[in-house]
Amino acid sequence: MEPKQNSGKRDARETESTGKLVISLAAPRTASGSVAATAPAVYALPGADPVLAKSGIYAPITLPVIERQWRFELTAGLAGVLEHGECLPLLKLLPANSVDLVLTDPPYFLDGMDGAWNRKTLGASAQRAQVIGSMPVGMKFDPKQGVELQKFLEPIFLECLRVLKPGGIFLSFSQARLYHRCAIAAENAGFEIRDMFGWTYEGQPKAFSQDHFVRKMNIPEREKAALIQTLQGRKTPQLKPMIEPIVFGQKPKDGTFVQNWIKHGVGLADTSQTWDGKFPGALMNSPKPGNAEKGDGNDHLTVKPQKVLRHLIRIFTQPGALVLDPFLGSGSSAVAAVCEGRGFIGFERDAEHCQISKRRIEAQIALETQNQKSIKSR
Ligand SMILES: C[S@@+](CC[C@H](N)C(=O)[O-])C[C@H]1O[C@@H](n2cnc3c(N)ncnc32)[C@H](O)[C@@H]1O
């Protein structure tokens, strides 16, 4: 789905600023979707930490506005940018070696959650899935899905590699069934696959009994009863999903780990960031986010938990770093970056998901501002 064309004219809605949120005007687009020659609005993301900024580790970068962009002033000179549109052309606008961490969650390529992810039809299919006779969401097996996913991800991951600083960490959530395609796409793009992390949770069983289908078979009732007894309640071969794998890759380093750290400030792990009082491990157990965490009106189907995102951001970046999520969804990684005092860039193709992200980011900024005020007044 191509983002709609934009005349580039300011309209009241697009130029309005609220509090610390600044909405950019959209730059003119050509018919082919590329940026028109008239200067697009650009936004610089300055480094937050003056010492690190001075050292050149956090150099300011700029991001042109293509469709619609929301800019958020965070604390201490840090900035966040949410941009509506397809991530591949937007990634191409970022300078090379400019981002500290890629933390993302691409479409799963299961039952409509593909490159043409559509909020409305997905919602409808999730509802239909409650009805017997229809497969639960994520359970339609089509061997082409994995191939398509890899094809979709490779050019995007190639851009992620380009924009990440040398030695920068790449973390991509994935779905257990197609994890391998996501990992291969990352490896083919040039990342070194270092490990697989897992977000573990208490899932819903998705396997279903075959009795219903036996009862519909065109055989005598006695045979149906015998067959059902033979099956002994056996179900389709799916155990309860309890893990969401995360591809853990690293952009090739510039020299040794220490040389890379001195030059780029990334590539090492802060292992003092404990999950459970012990040395941080590859599995992070956390419930799926509830309504309070998701925020008002967030009906996104695949919201990731703040606890996991914040933990990963703390381990792999320093305060003031820049976190990139090309598939922002309802804004979870941006909210986590705000909580941890990091800047962010998020891209999202769905206009309604952008609105949900914007609301969540604004709410988190307001909370952080309030917390800081109450700390100062003590
Ligand atoms: C798995 S969801 C991300 C959910 C997110 N982690 C959260 O917690 O809300 C993937 C998102 O990518 C978006 N998307 C799919 N293809 C895209 C593309 N080519 N460019 C930008 N966004 C895309 C979808 O609209 C969807 O919201």
Show the domain range for 218.
Answer: 205-239
Cβ of 336 closer than 6 Å to ligand 1, yes or no, is: no
Cβ of 87 closer than 6 Å to ligand 1, yes or no, is: yes
Asked if residue 320 and residue 178 are part of one domain, the reply reads: yes
pLDDT for res 65: 78
Residue after which a domain boundary falls, among 214, 239, 264: 239
Confidence of residue 369 (pLDDT cuts 50, 70, 90): confident
Asked if residue 219 and residue 145 are part of one domain, the reply reads: no
Mean pLDDT of 250-271: 97
Instruction: Among 81, 348, 353, say which to mutate for ligand 1: greatest number of ligand atoms within 8 Å of CB.
Output: 348
Say if 69 falls within a structural domain. yes
- pLDDT of 158 above 70: yes
- pLDDT of 3 above 70: no
d(CA 50, CA 56): 10
Asked if residue 338 and residue 211 are part of one domain, the reply reads: no
Packing angle, helices 332-339 and 306-316, rounded to 10? 60
Cβ of 159 closer than 6 Å to ligand 1, yes or no, is: no
Asked if residue 222 and residue 322 are part of one domain, the reply reads: no
Cβ of 300 closer than 6 Å to ligand 1, yes or no, is: yes
Q: Cα(38) to centroid of ligand 1, in Å?
A: 30
Say if 2 falls within a structural domain. no
Q: Atom 7 (ligand 1): residue with closest C-alpha?
A: 303
Task: Out of 10-19, 73-82, 321-330, pick the least confident.
Answer: 10-19
Please give the structure tokens belonging to residue 122: 């997905």
Q: Cα(135) to centroid of ligand 1, in Å?
A: 23
Q: Cα(268) to centroid of ligand 1, in Å?
A: 28
d(CA 282, CA 284): 7
Say if 143 falls within a structural domain. yes
CA distances from 201 to 23, 239, 274, 284 (A): 37, 13, 18, 9
What's this model's pTM, rounded to 2 decimal places?
0.85
pLDDT for res 194: 98
Asked if residue 152 and residue 33 are part of one domain, the reply reads: yes
Q: Cα(377) to centroid of ligand 1, in Å?
A: 40
Which residues, 6+ apart, have CB-to-CB distance to 154 below 8 Å?
185, 188, 189
Say if 4 falls within a structural domain. no
Cβ of 84 closer than 6 Å to ligand 1, yes or no, is: no
Cβ of 341 closer than 6 Å to ligand 1, yes or no, is: no
d(CA 199, CA 309): 10
**Residues 179-225: tens digit of each pLDDT:** 999 999 999 999 999 999 999 999 999 898 999 999 999 999 999 99
Q: Could you tell me the CATH number of the domain that includes residue 259?
A: 3.40.50.150
Asked if residue 186 and residue 147 are part of one domain, the reply reads: yes
Asked if residue 69 and residue 162 are part of one domain, the reply reads: yes
Question: Could you give the number of structural domains in the chain?
Answer: 2
- pLDDT of 1 above 60: no
Asked if residue 178 and residue 295 are part of one domain, the reply reads: yes
Say if 371 falls within a structural domain. no
Q: Cβ-count burial of 339 within 10 angstroms (0-12 exposed, 13-18 middle, 19+ buried)? A: middle
CA distances from 360 to 74, 144, 185 (A): 14, 35, 30
Cβ of 49 closer than 6 Å to ligand 1, yes or no, is: no
Asked if residue 217 and residue 80 are part of one domain, the reply reads: no
Say if 148 falls within a structural domain. yes
d(CA 199, CA 247): 11
Say if 271 falls within a structural domain. yes
Mean pLDDT of 56-85: 80
Pairing mode, strands 17-18 and 322-325: unpaired
- pLDDT of 151 above 80: yes
d(CA 1, CA 118): 9
Asked if residue 188 and residue 270 are part of one domain, the reply reads: yes
Say if 17 falls within a structural domain. yes
- pLDDT of 145 above 50: yes
Cβ of 105 closer than 6 Å to ligand 1, yes or no, is: yes
- pLDDT of 111 above 50: yes
Asked if residue 164 and residue 278 are part of one domain, the reply reads: yes
Closest CA to 320 of 39, 25, 59, 7: 59
Asked if residue 255 and residue 232 are part of one domain, the reply reads: no
